[in-house]
């Protein structure tokens, strides 16, 4: 519990930028602290129907309401697969929640549509120092000098690997200097077949997810878009080399094919149920793997390419609706989330805090393993890249081009080079629409 108290102090100290700022938050409250003698009703939406995320939100909410009895906060659980659609329906209906999950991809379009409030003046009025956030992650929430949301997580893609399956295959664990060639060689040896069926795969990855394939292309020396952002150019020889890593694993049956991923519940499920020995994702999956995977496991940085090492990064956090009827109350909850409430997320393996002063905080660094190698989550930030300026919606035509290209190769309709050329052409068309 000592560490808990320490963490709370640190959170308060760093985010409020000292006692003066903390004082100003409560004292200036005449403008940005909700009136104490009124009942305030707020809604806070998450993009998960169940699991750790909504549980954490509820826990933070309970803490907040305990400290502020004149508040009533309702946590709304939205389906992650239709989250965009639900928000859009809320926008049209005028029922956008007071606070809701936002992410890098939403920053610009939400501002352009006047959906999210600019948090910068609110923070300034409340004496809340945004400079404590890692600028890399805060930049993902910025557009045109405005702040669209406060980042809650420093999400950097790392490799999760099953130590028991590596031991059974007689393989050394991945090291910080491993390469994509090493990864493919390991994947081959980790794959176990029983007749026509595969009982264990080396890799399971979201092959069409930008945070997986884009860094691979960059790591091999390729580029994604031209300078104007109007043309997809990942079909250069370097780009094709990046895609070849993905296709080599898929075509040889070392990586879980899309059809199997779809059946078992997505690209990250095979690692959770022991069907795949490696996967590539962010820390947010840690609670799931701890709950479901009985083997010992750990994390490592992603492999190096022939040019460099790159990995995907992103963040999600909480935005405030521009339609909120009680902005002072909404801001009060927002500030609580990123002070006392932050501890809840860190203590539950869910979050690498996007605040530099927390990078070594025992609240998350000293949690019992797995994973043991928590330094990886911080080390990886140095080689992380922000998303390229792709179209807003990850489910749109750009991603469909990737899906179709992968399918075309796996179904024997095209070779890798033709497919990547086709993907780039389709992607370019979607950029110009």
Partner 1 sequence: MQLSVTESELAGLETSRFWRRSRNQIKEKKDWNAALWALLFLGPNLILFLIFTAYPVGYGLYISLYNYSILKPKEWVGLENYDTFIHDPKTPDLIWRSIYYAVGTTIPVVVLPLIVAVLLSNAGVATRPLRMIYILPIVTSPVAAAAVWKWLYAKDFGLINYGLSLVGVSPVDWLYSLRWSMPAVILMSIWLLIPFNIILYTAGLQEVPGDLYDAAAVDGASSFQQFRSVTVPMITPTIFFVFLITMINVLVGAFDVINVLTQGGPLQSTNVLIYDIYKNAFENFRMGYASAQAYALFLAVLIITLINWVLQKRWVHYS
Check if the beta carbon of residue 357 is closer than 8 Å to that of residue 15. Answer: no
Cα separation of 343 and 346, whole Å? 5
Residue choice 172, 413, 415, 429 for contact with partner 1 (CB under 8 A): 413
Q: Using the rule CB under 8 A, is 260 a contact of partner 1? A: yes
CB of 241 to partner 1, least distance (A): 24
The residues with which 278 forms a beta bridge, in sequence order, are 161, 203
Non-local CB neighbours of 26 within 8 Å, separated by 6+ positions:
33
What Å distances lie between residue 220 and 10, 180, 237, 406, CA to CA? 41, 10, 9, 19
CB of 140 to partner 1, least distance (A): 19
CB of 426 to partner 1, least distance (A): 12
- The residue among 192 and 378 lying less far from partner 1, judged by its C-beta, is 192
Interface of this chain with partner 1, residues 333 to 392, rule: CB under 8 A: none
- The residue among 76 and 408 lying less far from partner 1, judged by its C-beta, is 408
- The residue among 99 and 419 lying less far from partner 1, judged by its C-beta, is 419
Interface of this chain with partner 1, residues 197 to 216, rule: CB under 8 A: 197-198
Residue choice 55, 188, 296, 404 for contact with partner 1 (CB under 8 A): 404
Q: Using the rule CB under 8 A, is 192 a contact of partner 1? A: no
- The region of 48-56, 78-86, 97-105, 230-238 touching partner 1 under the rule CB under 8 A is 78-86
Q: Using the rule CB under 8 A, is 411 a contact of partner 1? A: yes
- The region of 1-9, 45-53, 85-93, 324-332 touching partner 1 under the rule CB under 8 A is 85-93
The residues with which 355 forms a beta bridge, in sequence order, are 133
User: What would the two tokens of residue 73 be?
Assistant: 């906060």
CB of 109 to partner 1, least distance (A): 5
Q: Using the rule CB under 8 A, is 252 a contact of partner 1? A: no
Residue choice 1, 30, 37, 92 for contact with partner 1 (CB under 8 A): 92
Residue choice 22, 378, 403, 425 for contact with partner 1 (CB under 8 A): 403
Q: Using the rule CB under 8 A, is 274 a contact of partner 1? A: no
Cα separation of 100 and 78, whole Å? 10
- The residue among 63 and 260 lying less far from partner 1, judged by its C-beta, is 260
Q: Using the rule CB under 8 A, is 36 a contact of partner 1? A: no
Residue choice 124, 262, 325, 415 for contact with partner 1 (CB under 8 A): 262
Q: Using the rule CB under 8 A, is 93 a contact of partner 1? A: no
Residue choice 146, 396, 418, 421 for contact with partner 1 (CB under 8 A): 396
- The region of 24-32, 55-63, 214-222, 252-260 touching partner 1 under the rule CB under 8 A is 252-260
- The residue among 55 and 407 lying less far from partner 1, judged by its C-beta, is 407
The 3-state secondary structure of the chain reads CHHHHHHHHHHHHHHCCHHHHHHHHHHCHHHHCCCCCCCEEEEEEECCCCCHHHHHHHHHHHHHHHHCCCEEEEEEECCHHHHHHHHHHHHHHCCCCCEEEEEHHHHHHHHHCCCECCHHHHHHHHCCCHHHECHHHHHHHEECCEECCEECCCEECEEEEEHHHHHHCCCCCCCCCCEHHHHHHHHHHHCEEECCEEEEEEEECCCCCHHHHHHHHHHCCCCCECCCCCCECCCCHHHHHHHHHHHHHHHCCCECCHHHHHHHCCCCHHHHCCCEEEEEECHHHHHHHHHHCCCCEEEECCCECCCCCCEEEECEEEEEECCCCCHHHHHHHHHHHCCCCHHHHHCCCCCCCCEHHHCCCHHHHCCCCCCCCCHHHHHHHHHEECCCCCCCCCCCHHHHHHHHHHHHHHCCCCCHHHHHHHHHHHHHHHHHC
Sort strands 197-204 and 276-281 into parallel, antiparallel or unpaired: parallel
Residue choice 231, 296, 407, 417 for contact with partner 1 (CB under 8 A): 407
Q: Using the rule CB under 8 A, is 408 a contact of partner 1? A: yes
Residue choice 176, 257, 274, 362 for contact with partner 1 (CB under 8 A): 257
- The region of 117-125, 137-145, 170-178, 192-200 touching partner 1 under the rule CB under 8 A is 192-200
Q: Using the rule CB under 8 A, is 395 a contact of partner 1? A: yes
Q: Using the rule CB under 8 A, is 113 a contact of partner 1? A: yes
- The residue among 219 and 414 lying less far from partner 1, judged by its C-beta, is 414
- Interacting residues with partner 1 (CB under 8 A): 82, 84-85, 88, 91-92, 109, 112-113, 196-198, 257-260, 262-263, 393, 395-397, 400, 403-404, 407-408, 410-411, 413
């Amino acid at each position: 519990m000592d560490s808990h108290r320490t963490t709370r102090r640190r959170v308060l100290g760093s985010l409020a930028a000292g006692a003066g700022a903390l004082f100003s938050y409560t004292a200036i409250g005449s403008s940005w602290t909700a009136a104490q003698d009124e009942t305030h009703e707020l809604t806070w939406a998450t993009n998960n129907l169940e699991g750790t995320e909504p549980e954490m939100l509820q826990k933070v909410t309970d803490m907040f309401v305990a400290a502020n009895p004149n508040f009533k906060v309702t946590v709304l659980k939205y389906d992650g697969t239709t989250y965009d659609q639900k928000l859009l329906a809320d926008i049209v209906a005028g029922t956008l929640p007071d606070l809701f999950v936002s992410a890098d991809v939403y920053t610009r379009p939400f501002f352009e549509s006047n959906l999210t409030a600019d948090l910068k003046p609110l923070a300034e009025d409340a004496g809340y120092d945004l400079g404590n956030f890692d600028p890399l992650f805060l930049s993902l929430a910025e557009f045109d000098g405005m702040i669209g949301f406060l980042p809650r997580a420093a999400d950097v893609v790392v490799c999760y690997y099953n130590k028991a399956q590596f031991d059974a295959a007689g393989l050394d664990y991945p090291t910080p200097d491993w390469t994509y060639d090493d990864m493919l060689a390991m994947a081959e040896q980790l794959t176990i077949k029983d007749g026509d069926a595969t009982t264990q795969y080396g890799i399971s990855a979201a092959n069409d997810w930008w945070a997986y394939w884009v860094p691979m292309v960059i790591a091999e020396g390729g580029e994604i878009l031209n300078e104007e952002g109007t043309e997809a150019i990942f079909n250069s020889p370097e780009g094709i080399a990046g895609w070849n890593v993905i296709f080599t694993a898929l075509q040889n049956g070392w990586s879980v094919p899309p059809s199997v991923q779809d059946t078992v519940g997505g690209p990250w499920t095979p690692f959770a149920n022991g069907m795949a020995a490696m996967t590539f994702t962010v820390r947010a999956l840690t609670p799931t793997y701890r709950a479901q995977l009985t083997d010992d496991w750990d994390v490592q940085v992603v492999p190096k390419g022939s040019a460099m090492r790159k990995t995907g990064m992103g963040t999600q956090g909480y935005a405030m609706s521009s339609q909120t009827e009680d902005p002072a109350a909404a801001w009060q909850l927002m500030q609580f989330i990123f002070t006392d409430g932050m501890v809840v997320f860190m203590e539950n393996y869910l979050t690498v805090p996007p605040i530099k002063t927390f990078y070594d905080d025992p609240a998350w660094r000293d949690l019992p393993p797995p994973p043991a190698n928590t330094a990886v989550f911080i080390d990886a930030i140095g080689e992380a890249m922000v998303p390229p300026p792709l179209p807003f919606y990850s489910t749109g035509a750009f991603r469909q081009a990737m899906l179709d290209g992968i399918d075309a190769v796996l179904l024997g309709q095209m070779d890798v080079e033709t497919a990547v050329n086709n993907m780039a052409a389709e992607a370019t068309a979607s950029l110009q629409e």
